Amino acid sequence: MATTHSEYNEKTTATSVASAFADQIRGRNVVITGVGPNSLGEALALAIGSQQPAKLFLASRTEAKVQQVADKVRELSPTTSIEAVTLNLASQKSIHAAASKIQSQVDRVDILINNAGMMVLEKETTEDGIEIQFGTNHVGHFLFTNLLMDQMKNAAKSSESGSTRIVNVTSAGHRLSPLRFHDYNFEGKEVPVDERPPDGLPPMFSPSAGGYNGWLAYGQSKTANILFTVYLTQHLASAGIVSYSVHPGCDQGAATMLVAAFDPSLKCEF
């Protein structure tokens, strides 16, 4: 997939990418999830905040942490309008409240970056009874995205087609497991062959006696991120909205996400 700046590499910083795409950021409303100190979310917030977005919504499950990042962005970019949003993706009640807060302030969302994610080894569930990695990494973002869909469609109506975007952060971990449609909660149900992990994985990726393996659950959630991205673009491209899934990598991951969010040269291919 061609990009505007073929010279970008693992040394390219998020700040330089944001500066290159300043015209695509300026005056637009941007929502970022998973924003905390010393994180990819913070790097995204600092880079985007430096280029005069109309409104920058920073979301995290921990109010004190997201406020810390918001204060840092304000210090470096005092003219940027920033709103901190408490968002616990393991709670559908919290997701509804967070979306309502955004909806009460803007009637359009130009860019949504679903950056939040988690990985745990022991089985836990969300307050709604869903395996916590699938519930947080996929279902939570699925709900949050759909609650903001009217605002995204409003943005697309007055924007160049394809410039209204949803970026879903996945990882190479998707290779560990397909989506277990027959047993996404790891309840010990039988799953067909095409929903099982690939052959040849090391023993650490084998399910425990209870049928759970945190790495496989993580892999399933990352596969779901990709499938959600494909679905979004297939169903929203006609409305001018596209979605990209991004593996940020180990170096300059925020820069990779910024290219996906703002590079006008990116075109979806089916």
pLDDT (tens digit, 9 = 90+) per residue, 140-155? 999 999 999 999 999 9
pLDDT over 60 at 191, yes or no: yes
- Domain at 14-262, CATH from 3.20.20.70, 3.40.640.10, 3.40.50.720, 1.10.472.50: 3.40.50.720
Question: Contact, 4 vs 20, CB < 8 A?
Answer: yes
Task: State the Cα–Cα distance between residues 87 and 118, nearest whole angstrom.
Answer: 14
**DSSP H or E stretch at residue 219:** helix 214-236
Report the chain's mean pLDDT, rounded to a whole number: 91
pLDDT in the model for residue 146: 99
- Cβ atoms of residues 59 and 43 within 8 Å: no
Domain parsing of the chain, residue ranges? 14-262
Which residues, at least 6 apart from 59, have a Cβ–Cβ distance to it below 8 Å? 31, 32, 33, 34, 35, 66, 84, 85, 86, 87, 98, 116
Report pLDDT digits (tens) over 150-188: 999 999 999 999 999 999 999 888 988 999 999 999 999
What is the CB neighbour count within 10 angstroms for residue 194? 8
Q: What percent of the chain has pLDDT over 90?
A: 76
244 carries an active-site annotation: no
**Torsion angle, CA of 220/226/230/235, rounded to 10 degrees?**
70
Give dist(CA 241, CA 153) in Å, integer.
Answer: 7
End-to-end CA distance of the chain: 12
Supply the pLDDT for residue 251. 44
pLDDT in tens, 229-252: 999 999 999 999 999 999 876 545
**This prediction's pTM:** 0.92
In the numeric block, which tokens belong to residue 203? Answer: 């023993």
Which residue among the candidates 8, 184, 212, 218 is catalytic per the annotation?
218
CA pair distance 100, 258, nearest whole angstrom:
26
